[in-house]
Amino acid sequence: MRIDASDLDFHRLPGAVPAAVATVTEAQWSALAEAIHADGRLVALWGSDRRHVGEGFAVYAAYAAEDGLACARLLVSADRAEYPDLSTRFPSASRMQRAVSDLLGVGAGGAEDQRPWLRHGAGTLPPQGRWPARWPATAARQPAGPCAPPSTA
Protein backbone atom coordinates (compact mmCIF):
# COMPACT_ATOMS: atom_id res chain seq x y z
CA MET A 1 0.00 0.00 0.00
CA ARG A 2 1.16 3.50 -0.79
CA ILE A 3 0.47 6.30 1.68
CA ASP A 4 -0.38 8.71 -1.13
CA ALA A 5 -2.93 6.23 -2.55
CA SER A 6 -4.82 5.91 0.72
CA ASP A 7 -8.19 7.55 1.22
CA LEU A 8 -7.12 8.54 4.75
CA ASP A 9 -6.16 12.13 5.50
CA PHE A 10 -2.42 11.56 6.02
CA HIS A 11 -0.30 14.57 6.93
CA ARG A 12 3.34 14.37 5.88
CA LEU A 13 5.87 14.85 8.66
CA PRO A 14 9.11 16.78 8.17
CA GLY A 15 12.36 14.85 8.37
CA ALA A 16 14.79 12.62 6.54
CA VAL A 17 12.50 9.58 6.60
CA PRO A 18 9.32 9.83 4.53
CA ALA A 19 6.55 9.58 7.12
CA ALA A 20 2.93 10.59 7.51
CA VAL A 21 0.32 10.44 10.27
CA ALA A 22 -3.47 10.23 10.15
CA THR A 23 -6.06 10.27 12.91
CA VAL A 24 -8.42 7.36 12.22
CA THR A 25 -11.68 5.82 13.40
CA GLU A 26 -11.86 2.24 14.67
CA ALA A 27 -13.09 1.05 11.25
CA GLN A 28 -10.23 2.88 9.51
CA TRP A 29 -7.74 1.46 12.07
CA SER A 30 -8.77 -2.08 11.11
CA ALA A 31 -9.01 -1.35 7.37
CA LEU A 32 -5.52 0.22 7.31
CA ALA A 33 -4.07 -2.83 9.08
CA GLU A 34 -5.72 -5.08 6.50
CA ALA A 35 -4.41 -2.99 3.58
CA ILE A 36 -0.86 -2.86 4.97
CA HIS A 37 -0.89 -6.59 5.80
CA ALA A 38 -0.84 -7.48 2.10
CA ASP A 39 2.57 -5.93 1.36
CA GLY A 40 3.85 -4.03 4.40
CA ARG A 41 4.64 -4.68 8.03
CA LEU A 42 3.86 -3.39 11.50
CA VAL A 43 6.86 -1.46 12.86
CA ALA A 44 5.58 -0.39 16.29
CA LEU A 45 2.47 0.05 18.40
CA TRP A 46 2.26 2.31 21.45
CA GLY A 47 -0.15 4.43 23.42
CA SER A 48 -0.29 7.72 25.26
CA ASP A 49 -2.42 9.21 28.01
CA ARG A 50 -4.18 12.28 26.57
CA ARG A 51 -6.64 12.87 29.40
CA HIS A 52 -4.90 16.11 30.38
CA VAL A 53 -6.13 17.61 27.08
CA GLY A 54 -9.55 15.94 27.18
CA GLU A 55 -8.80 13.28 24.54
CA GLY A 56 -8.81 10.14 26.71
CA PHE A 57 -6.04 7.95 25.33
CA ALA A 58 -4.36 7.65 21.94
CA VAL A 59 -3.07 4.42 20.46
CA TYR A 60 -0.62 4.57 17.56
CA ALA A 61 0.42 1.98 14.98
CA ALA A 62 3.37 2.64 12.68
CA TYR A 63 3.58 0.64 9.46
CA ALA A 64 6.27 0.26 6.80
CA ALA A 65 4.40 1.16 3.62
CA GLU A 66 5.77 1.17 0.07
CA ASP A 67 6.53 4.88 0.17
CA GLY A 68 7.45 5.46 3.82
CA LEU A 69 6.26 5.16 7.38
CA ALA A 70 2.48 5.35 7.82
CA CYS A 71 1.36 6.14 11.35
CA ALA A 72 -2.26 5.75 12.45
CA ARG A 73 -3.50 7.58 15.56
CA LEU A 74 -6.68 6.25 17.16
CA LEU A 75 -8.32 8.22 19.96
CA VAL A 76 -9.76 5.92 22.62
CA SER A 77 -12.35 6.98 25.19
CA ALA A 78 -11.11 6.88 28.77
CA ASP A 79 -14.47 5.30 29.69
CA ARG A 80 -14.15 2.42 27.23
CA ALA A 81 -10.32 2.09 27.09
CA GLU A 82 -10.34 -0.46 24.26
CA TYR A 83 -9.27 -0.52 20.62
CA PRO A 84 -9.43 -3.11 17.80
CA ASP A 85 -6.91 -5.97 18.03
CA LEU A 86 -4.12 -6.06 15.42
CA SER A 87 -2.55 -9.39 16.42
CA THR A 88 -4.72 -11.44 14.06
CA ARG A 89 -3.00 -9.73 11.11
CA PHE A 90 0.34 -8.98 12.79
CA PRO A 91 1.30 -11.55 15.46
CA SER A 92 4.09 -9.23 16.65
CA ALA A 93 1.39 -6.78 17.79
CA SER A 94 0.45 -9.09 20.65
CA ARG A 95 3.36 -8.14 22.91
CA MET A 96 3.08 -4.44 22.11
CA GLN A 97 -0.65 -4.52 22.85
CA ARG A 98 -0.01 -6.27 26.15
CA ALA A 99 2.57 -3.61 27.07
CA VAL A 100 0.07 -0.82 26.26
CA SER A 101 -2.46 -2.58 28.48
CA ASP A 102 0.06 -2.90 31.34
CA LEU A 103 1.21 0.71 31.12
CA LEU A 104 -2.03 2.55 30.31
CA GLY A 105 -4.87 0.17 31.11
CA VAL A 106 -6.04 0.37 27.46
CA GLY A 107 -6.64 -3.09 25.99
CA ALA A 108 -6.95 -4.59 22.54
CA GLY A 109 -10.55 -5.75 22.27
CA GLY A 110 -10.90 -9.35 21.18
CA ALA A 111 -7.19 -10.17 21.51
CA GLU A 112 -6.58 -13.82 22.36
CA ASP A 113 -3.65 -13.10 24.64
CA GLN A 114 -4.63 -10.78 27.49
CA ARG A 115 -1.86 -11.83 29.90
CA PRO A 116 0.31 -9.12 31.48
CA TRP A 117 3.55 -8.53 29.59
CA LEU A 118 5.73 -6.31 31.78
CA ARG A 119 7.30 -7.48 35.03
CA HIS A 120 7.61 -4.25 36.95
CA GLY A 121 10.08 -4.87 39.74
CA ALA A 122 11.64 -7.97 38.07
CA GLY A 123 11.27 -10.46 40.87
CA THR A 124 9.95 -8.12 43.54
CA LEU A 125 6.34 -8.07 42.43
CA PRO A 126 3.71 -7.22 45.03
CA PRO A 127 1.59 -10.09 46.41
CA GLN A 128 -1.12 -9.60 43.81
CA GLY A 129 1.52 -10.18 41.09
CA ARG A 130 1.00 -6.89 39.27
CA TRP A 131 2.56 -3.46 39.22
CA PRO A 132 0.54 -1.36 41.69
CA ALA A 133 -0.81 1.07 39.08
CA ARG A 134 -3.98 2.99 39.81
CA TRP A 135 -6.45 3.67 37.00
CA PRO A 136 -7.07 6.40 36.36
CA ALA A 137 -3.70 7.83 37.24
CA THR A 138 -3.89 10.51 39.90
CA ALA A 139 -2.56 14.04 39.47
CA ALA A 140 0.23 13.18 41.92
CA ARG A 141 1.54 10.58 39.45
CA GLN A 142 1.72 12.96 36.48
CA PRO A 143 5.21 13.55 35.06
CA ALA A 144 7.17 16.61 36.13
CA GLY A 145 9.77 18.63 34.27
CA PRO A 146 10.21 18.88 30.50
CA CYS A 147 7.97 15.84 29.86
CA ALA A 148 5.07 17.20 31.88
CA PRO A 149 1.78 17.75 30.08
CA PRO A 150 1.13 21.38 29.15
CA SER A 151 -0.90 23.41 31.60
CA THR A 152 -4.58 23.73 30.73
CA ALA A 153 -5.02 26.79 32.93
Q: Cα(first)–Cα(last) distance of the chain, in Å?
A: 43
* pLDDT top residue among 81 and 44: 44
Query: pLDDT at residue 130 above 60?
Result: no
Mean model confidence pLDDT for the chain:
82
Q: Which of 13-27, 28-42, 106-120 shows the lowest mean pLDDT across its residues?
A: 106-120
Q: What is the pLDDT of residue 150?
A: 52
Q: Is the pTM of this model over 0.85?
A: no
Q: What is the pLDDT of residue 114?
A: 82
Across 104-132, average pLDDT: 70
Q: What is the pLDDT of residue 138?
A: 40
Report residue 122's pLDDT band, with 50, 70 and 90 as the boundaries: low
> Backbone dihedral region of 110: left (phi > 0), alpha (psi from -120 to 50 degrees) or beta?
left
- Cβ(49)–Cβ(57) below 8 Å: yes
Burial class (CB in 10 A: 0-12, 13-18, 19+), 101: buried
What would the pLDDT profile of 53-66 be if each residue is shown by its tens digit?
998 999 999 999 99
Q: Which of 25-39, 45-59, 82-96, 134-148 shows the lowest mean pLDDT across its residues?
A: 134-148
Percent of the residues in the chain that have a pLDDT greater than 70, as a whole number: 77
Q: What is the pLDDT of residue 113?
A: 87
Matching CATH number, 3-116, of 3.30.460.80, 3.30.1330.10, 3.40.50.300, 3.90.110.10: 3.30.460.80
